[in-house]
């Protein structure tokens, strides 16, 4: 029996040596016909998974945090989107008062539009089709009056036009006893806020 056991053990060792020299792997309990390389690759990937998992999770969390931060930054209002500190609504003296009149002209098509905010909270727009009157609503009416009361408007020049540019829209605004003309070629945040708010009422072509 010892001779038989010794011979069996020697045979196993010899077989292992042969398999090892040919680059094969002896897998106990593996399904017959399954490629040994595939089993090794799977085991290697599984073994590497735990160590690479946290790194991937960390990278994903970092990317997610960066994306959230970018989204928050984009959603946050820019400093130029709100009136200057200390802006108060301009007073209303009567329902027929013209708080502001803005005329838009020029462009390739020769546009001529006009929007007027009145003391009764209505907005009158004029174009080639005739006048249209709409009510601003309390919140929008107050917003427009705050924009008109922005102290930063006092520093806006009366005339900011790029005379070398052609076919640009020209904006003429009359309010607080002033007349301002601009083609929006200069950066004037307080005036831009007012023009943007009034432009919401203009007809869309």
> Would residue 117 count as lying in a domain?
yes
Which distant-in-sequence residues (6+ apart) come within 8 Å of 198 by Cβ? 100, 102, 115, 117, 144
Q: Is residue 166 part of a domain?
A: yes
φ and ψ at residue 76, rounded to 5 degrees:
-70, 135
In this predicted model, what pLDDT tens digit does every residue of 146-188 receive, in sequence order? Answer: 999 999 999 999 999 998 887 899 999 999 999 999 999 999 9
**Helix residue ranges, H only, the chain:** 2-21, 36-75, 138-148, 189-199
| CATH, residue 120 | 3.30.1560.10
Whole-number pLDDT of residue 63: 42
The answer to whether residue 62 sits within a structural domain is: no
Structural domains counted in the chain? 1
Find all residues with CB under 8 Å of 53, minimum gap 6, and list them.
Answer: none
Structural domain including 114 reads 98-199
Residue 145 pLDDT greater than 90, yes or no:
yes
In a domain, 5, yes or no: no
């Amino acid at each position: 029996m010892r001779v038989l056991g010794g011979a069996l053990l020697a045979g196993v060792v010899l077989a292992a040596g042969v398999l090892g020299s040919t680059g094969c792997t002896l897998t106990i309990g593996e399904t017959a016909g399954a490629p040994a390389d595939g089993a090794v690759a799977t085991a290697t990937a599984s073994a590497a998974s735990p160590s690479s998992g946290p790194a991937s999770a960390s990278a994903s969390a970092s990317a997610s945090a960066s994306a959230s931060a970018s989204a928050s930054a984009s959603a946050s209002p820019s400093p130029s989107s709100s009136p200057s500190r200390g802006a108060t609504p301009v007073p209303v003296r009567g329902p027929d008062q013209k708080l502001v009149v803005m005329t838009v002209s020029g462009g390739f098509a020769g546009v001529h539009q006009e929007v007027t905010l009145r003391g009764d909270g209505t907005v009158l727009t004029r174009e080639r089709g005739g006048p249209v009157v709409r009510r601003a609503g309390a919140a929008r009416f107050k917003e427009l009056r705050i924009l008109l009361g922005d102290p930063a408007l006092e520093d806006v020049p009366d005339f900011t036009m790029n005379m070398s540019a052609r076919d640009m829209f020209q904006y003429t605004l009359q309010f607080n006893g002033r007349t301002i003309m601009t083609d929006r070629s200069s950066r004037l945040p307080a005036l831009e806020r007012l023009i943007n708010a009034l432009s919401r009422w203009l007809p869309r072509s």
